[in-house]
Amino acid sequence: MYYIEFLGNFYIASYLLLLTPIYYLYPSQLKIRNSYFLVICYSKFNVVQTPVESMSRFIKDMNEKGMAGLASEYRKIDVEDTPFGSHKSFLMNMAKNRYSIIIDVLCVDETRVVLKIGPAASGDYIHANYVLFSEFQNKFICTQGPLQTTRDDFWRMVFQERAETILMLCRPSEDGKPKCAVYWPENDDKLELSTVDVEKVGEENSDFETLLFKVQLRDEFKQSPFISNKDPLVVKQWPDRGIPSHENAMIPLKLLSLVRNTRAPCVVHCSAGIGRTGTVVAIELGIRRFHDGRKVDLAMLVKDLRKKRAQCIQTEIQYLYLSRVLTEYALSSGEPLSDDVRRAAESFLKEYDSKIKK
């Protein structure tokens, strides 16, 4: 596909051939001096744009495809899904996987978090993956909701990675079904685990239920190179029983705004760690691409995300929700969108609401 496209533009093809060896030898210098090359490499249609051009193009694309087109696009992604790579550690630690019977919630080896502190007998495995893109200021760690037997692994990871915030996108139980273990001390008691002690130090009432914790390494592991968290760790919980409201796209946008201005990792989980978790991280990736002036292609965005965390965006409805939230973000961004673009957005959102309410 790329080869055919480049034949149609001799100058771009020549430019790429010239810069490709330079990029591999000096990637950091080339990234600074010629971001145009990197953007062209990303997608045959991905040219440098301003944020308003990126947002306008996205909105027009959503309106042209409509609900039926987007639904068809998602089904095509699932059929042509990205190869997930090796997942040997996942297969060797089935007891630590929340969905161990259904082998469709994989944890790929290439991006998995390797635990480096704690008892040797506990191993180095947790169902969690680093999700890092050049567009992000901070690193996301996407993980499953802890099991009762993996709470220590979860907090080992949080401590090791020096995370400052956990976004909890589910409740321990929803509709009578267990989704996640209660992995924190419910009272003022200290939760003593094999590797760390977790102490609740406060609560905050805001748009999101917020719990504050102090996490400290147990004495027998203090010779490790990992230091104690000096500041309270924040757990922000999704409202409305953990289910995103399709009528209110501002909820995930507000949630993401609270974790954006830091370089510390943010741990995100729901139950499987790929549905709501993948949707929220995909929203952030789309937002950052808007502001970088890049084309926001939903299908490509999901494919890129799945290379980091397999099977992200589980359902068609989550894919449609992603399109709505990014459209709402563009409308509220303050960018000078034209009247035509705003009308296209209104038309798309009206169709979305009609589709979802059926």
Query: Would you name the residues annotated as active-site residues?
Result: 270
The bridge status of strand 128-131 relative to strand 140-143 is antiparallel
- Local structure of 80: helix, strand or coil: coil
Exposed e or buried b per residue across 133-146, where buried means at least 16 C-beta atoms within 10 angstroms of its C-beta: eeebebbbbbbbbb
Q: How many CB atoms lie within 10 A of CB 235?
A: 21
Residue pointed to by tokens 């915030």? 165
Q: How far apart are CA 127 and CA 96, in angstroms?
A: 7
Give the angle 111-86-321 at the CA atoms, nearest 5°. 60
What is the radius of gyration, based on Cα positions, of the chain?
A: 22
Amino acid (one-letter) located at 309: R
C-beta pairs of 36-40 under 8 Å, 24+ apart in sequence:
39/294, 40/12, 40/15, 40/16
Please, what's the largest Cα pairwise distance for the chain?
Answer: 68
Half-sphere exposure at residue 236, Cβ-oriented, CA atoms within 13 angstroms: 17
Q: Provide the token pair at 261.
A: 């201005």
- Local structure of 195: helix, strand or coil: coil
